[in-house]
Amino acid sequence: MRRLGLLVIAVAIFAGHSAGQSITVAAAADLNFALSELAQEFQAASGTKVTLSFGASGNLFSQIQAGAPFDIFFSADEEYPRKLAASGALDAASVRTYAVGHLVLWVPTAAPFNPKQLKMDSLMQSSVTRIALANPQHAPYGRAALAALEHYGLKDIVSGKLVFGESVSQAAQFVHSGNAQAGLIALSLARSPAMVSAGKYWEVPQEAYPELRQAVGIVSRSTNKKAAQAFLDFVLSVEAAATLQKYGLTPPVQP
């Protein structure tokens, strides 16, 4: 029985290995559709298996700091990769800004108003009782949404209506499912087929919130840096830029 116990523990500990060229990517929630498409193209072209794990940038940041087994980290801001590079968790030399994200005000098709006309005043409509945004504590898009509310002087007026998703994609889900009547979400999600067919949006002007410059870096502990670098190079390539652009992720102007 004792031997059986040891065997069970040994099986438990050593199970769960898989072989083959593959990388695990931690990616900001706003990349849910764009990066899935790019990963598929890369996989077909290179044969490297790309496993994607999406989440709020801040959560992925803490996970990587705690030693999560990722190879690359695509953040929705520049701050998290910079901090990780400073602490040695990311290869500082690999950190690049790959895209600029944009914020939109999204409402379901059934909304009795057009957000393109009402713009930010959409949020003041009586039919809007819940406004979804990402949690500003760990999601860059949540911070951008709060900044935009502040810019238009709406923060205190609508504060009772705000509901926070764990990530920007959960905020999108809240409003897509109709449980919130308006959402401040990523343009990259609003351009996804599921969102396009279910609603309409207005792009919040850039001056209303700090630019969402998004950076990427290779995880220092990665055991597959070559494949990770290859994927990173692919995402930074001209052809990938077209896919990113399709989802409203514009190329960054290098400072």
Partner 1 sequence: MILQALALTLRLAVVVALILIVIALPLGYWLAMSRSRWKFLVESVVALPIVLPPTVLGFYVLTAIGPLSPIGRWYHVLTGGSLAFTFRGLVIGSVLYSLPFAVQPIAAAFSSVDRTLLQASATLGASSWRSFWKIILPLGIPGVFTGLVLSFAHTLGEFGVVLMIGGNIPGATQTASILIYDQVQALNYAVANQTAFLLLVSCFVLLAVLFGLRRHTKWSLWEWQ
Strand spans (E) along the chain: 22-28, 49-55, 72-74, 96-101, 103-108, 131-134, 162-165, 182-186, 199-203, 212-218
Q: Which three-class secondary structure state does DSSP give residue 177?
A: coil
Of the candidate residues 97, 135, 181, 192, the single one contacting partner 1 (CB under 8 A): 192
User: Which has the closest alpha carbon to 185: 60, 73, 76, 26?
Assistant: 76
Please tell me what DSSP assigns to residue 175: H
What share of residues in the chain are helix, strand, coil (percent, to 5)? Answer: 45, 20, 30
Q: Which is nearer to partner 1, 104 or 120 (CB)?
A: 104
Q: Which residues pair with 53 in a beta bridge?
A: 26
Does 24 bind partner 1 (CB under 8 A)? Our answer is yes
Q: Which two tokens stand for residue 246?
A: 């399709």
**220-249 footprint of partner 1 as x/- string (CB under 8 A):** -x----------------------------
Angstrom CA distances, 67 to 63, 70, 215, 219, 222, stand at: 6, 8, 19, 10, 10
Which residues, numbered 27-86, are part of the site for partner 1 (CB under 8 A)? 29, 32-33, 51-55, 63, 66-70
Stretch that binds partner 1, among 39-47, 147-155, 169-177, 225-233 (CB under 8 A): 169-177
Does 19 bind partner 1 (CB under 8 A)? Our answer is no
CB of 234 to partner 1, least distance (A): 20
Q: Which is nearer to partner 1, 32 or 75 (CB)?
A: 32
Q: Which is nearer to partner 1, 97 or 181 (CB)?
A: 181
Q: Which is nearer to partner 1, 62 or 159 (CB)?
A: 62
CB of 187 to partner 1, least distance (A): 15
Does 170 bind partner 1 (CB under 8 A)? Our answer is yes
Of the candidate residues 48, 97, 167, 181, the single one contacting partner 1 (CB under 8 A): 167
Does 11 bind partner 1 (CB under 8 A)? Our answer is yes
Number of H helices and E strands in the chain, helices first, is 12, 10
Q: Which is nearer to partner 1, 72 or 120 (CB)?
A: 72
The count of other CB atoms within 10 Å of the CB of residue 83 is 14
Does 16 bind partner 1 (CB under 8 A)? Our answer is yes
The count of other CB atoms within 10 Å of the CB of residue 115 is 22
Q: Which two tokens stand for residue 250?
A: 């514009």
What does the binding site for partner 1 look like in residue numbers (CB under 8 A)? 4-5, 8-9, 11-13, 15-16, 18, 24, 29, 32-33, 51-55, 63, 66-70, 165, 167, 169-170, 172-173, 176, 192, 194-195, 221
